[in-house]
Chain A
């Protein structure tokens, strides 16, 4: 697309029929409102998407539909005139879109990533300018990575040097989502030839004024999200206003990116949740209809257990991502540890969940024919979900980057955990799904979690609370025992982390394994806290499936999934295995009920358009 087309897009503001959304409060309500407006999924849509994917065409109709309902207004904070008040609500909407098609969610949601630095560090006037463009449906892109440097942003070679009373941008950014369609691009550029942490600035490049000095690079062919606009751009003397077009104070580019990534890495998890929603629904549908050896596939214990375990993984991911997203509002100082942990665990956990479902589906997951000529409609959808999802663990900080970020916090975390600390009110607020959230204040994001991770700090106390509940309610005994085991293992893990040399010259492989296990301990602790602080409210309000919440059922399964990752060769005791059989049977039953009733596979009741 040439810049003239972009200008045309700018001139046609989206039809924002946003009145009902203005009153959206809970994430479930936000997702249902979006579902209602998009309407029931048409099997013909899947066919059209597959054909477009084969031709590597941008999903224009899908993105137009999202613009038509004004989704981008939910990317703009309320203080700048948008509808983003609670991050969990916007995340739930993106999850619903991702549950329909991941290419569509990534193509549209990129605008949030492109604009977020301005919400974090931009001035009021600048934010108003960007808010207006985003609300009008202009795609925004985020130009961080370069061909030769990948995640190593400090090595960036795009320059922003003074040129008279202007600043001049030159160089190339590559593997950039929306680089060609983007009407506005946030570019990280070297402003000090010597570089260094204060040697970079973020600039806003408006395609309407940049003209031919901004040249999109050819589309890159990819394994998944084939239709997405993954390309790059060259800047050849783009002249900008050194003040009005710079985001934040001089030299603050890297710091702003690091703060912004805490938000985007947390929110990326919602794309994985959507992909798993989609994959689980496909698998559940197949498993109920498929007959083998004279009986339904689901009557085979191994098949039923696989489905139950995958669902447990998904609920664990949902619990962890939900708590972290709420923490943007209530515990911003700890996002430095939560964001990389969530960004590592949820996409990687979803990859393995999808791989297990793929084996359950057998040949059906290998077929590409979604046209329904030879086989049933819907068959063949799965391969696209899995291909499309592969990008999520790569972009916005890949797996190694996230684990490395946690390794760098080891000295801090072990130091913090040796100190006594009072219970963290912000954690209790994040863990109670019914507690109203205070407005998000991104100025409270800290580059490092000075006081450690309160989730782990308070885990022994959580284990005590569960043990006490189990004395009154015997059904809670297995989950109380599993929580105690988690608390013990987390303490040992923190001990191992504390024994790491403070600064190894090169991060040893062993440290990455400790970081990986740390993320599972955090996820387990998040699940424990979410159940403890929410179960009474959820049951009383009828907000989620009672079989999942009663007796700590989902938590029992989620912790089992944590233990298998935390300790190699983890084997439950015979007694625990017996309890787990019952638990997983409940979970499998609930998954089938939710997907059969056109609800999200979720801890909470969220209806799809078909059920509204």
Chain B
């Protein structure tokens, strides 16, 4: 299933948080400092189309295939980062 060549395994959940903040900032064309990791993605302006893109980024960067439903179940940057980190490191979040 997993065909991405370059994938990164984050040592710490904060790396994922930072990476996600960058993504959101890029999409929204706002400074990273303005992205609050505790605010729901929808309130940050990430509609379902953003979320599809984000899932693609996750696969490209981490080699992890995720459904857009992960953003429904983990609706903030912090929650999503925790979930992704757990998936990448084998469950312990």
Nearest residue in B to A420 (C-beta to C-beta)? B3
CB of A303, distance to nearest CB on chain B (Å): 46
Chain B interface size band reads 20 to 34
Nearest residue in B to A252 (C-beta to C-beta)? B69
Instruction: Return the CB mask of A416-429 against B: 1 if under 8 Å, else 0.
Output: 10010110000000
- Inter-chain contact A447/B69, CB cutoff 8 Å: yes
Contact of B72 among A198, A419, A450 (CB under 8 A): A198
| Neighbouring B residues of A412 by C-beta, 8 Å | 52-53, 55-56
A196 at the interface (CB under 8 A from B): yes
User: Bound complex: CA of A409 vs CA of B50, how far in Å?
Assistant: 10
CB of A262, distance to nearest CB on chain B (Å): 13
User: Bound complex: CA of A176 vs CA of B57, how far in Å?
Assistant: 39
A611 at the interface (CB under 8 A from B): no
User: Bound complex: CA of A196 vs CA of B52, how far in Å?
Assistant: 16
A53 at the interface (CB under 8 A from B): no
A415 at the interface (CB under 8 A from B): yes
Instruction: Return the CB mask of B37-58 against A: 1 if under 8 Å, else 0.
Output: 0000010000111101101100
B86 at the interface (CB under 8 A from A): no
CB of A340, distance to nearest CB on chain B (Å): 13
| Neighbouring A residues of B42 by C-beta, 8 Å | 196
The DSSP consensus for interface residues of chain A is: loop
Of B11-19, B59-67, B76-84, the one touching chain A: B59-67
- Inter-chain contact A446/B60, CB cutoff 8 Å: no
CB of B61, distance to nearest CB on chain A (Å): 12
Contact of B52 among A197, A198, A255, A409 (CB under 8 A): A409
B34 at the interface (CB under 8 A from A): no
User: Bound complex: CA of A81 vs CA of B83, how far in Å?
Assistant: 39
User: Bound complex: CA of A116 vs CA of B85, how far in Å?
Assistant: 35
A408 at the interface (CB under 8 A from B): yes
Chain A interface size band reads 20 to 34
| Neighbouring B residues of A196 by C-beta, 8 Å | 42, 72, 75
CB of A514, distance to nearest CB on chain B (Å): 15
A150 at the interface (CB under 8 A from B): no
- Inter-chain contact B49/A415, CB cutoff 8 Å: no
- Inter-chain contact A447/B67, CB cutoff 8 Å: yes
- Inter-chain contact A415/B72, CB cutoff 8 Å: no
Q: Which of A142-176 contact B (CB under 8 A)?
A: none
CB of A442, distance to nearest CB on chain B (Å): 14
Nearest residue in B to A451 (C-beta to C-beta)? B3
Q: Name the residue in B49, B59, B60, B73 with the highest tally of chain A Cβ atoms < 10 Å from its Cβ.
A: B49
- Inter-chain contact B59/A450, CB cutoff 8 Å: yes
- Inter-chain contact B60/A415, CB cutoff 8 Å: yes
- Inter-chain contact B55/A448, CB cutoff 8 Å: yes
- Inter-chain contact B50/A503, CB cutoff 8 Å: yes
A411 at the interface (CB under 8 A from B): yes
Q: Which of A218-255 contact B (CB under 8 A)?
A: 255
Nearest residue in B to A421 (C-beta to C-beta)? B3
What 6 pairs across the A-B complex have the smallest Cβ distances?
A: A197-B72, A411-B53, A408-B49, A198-B72, A412-B56, A415-B56
Interface residues of B (CB under 8 A from A): 3, 27, 42, 47-50, 52-53, 55-56, 59-60, 65, 67-69, 72-73, 75
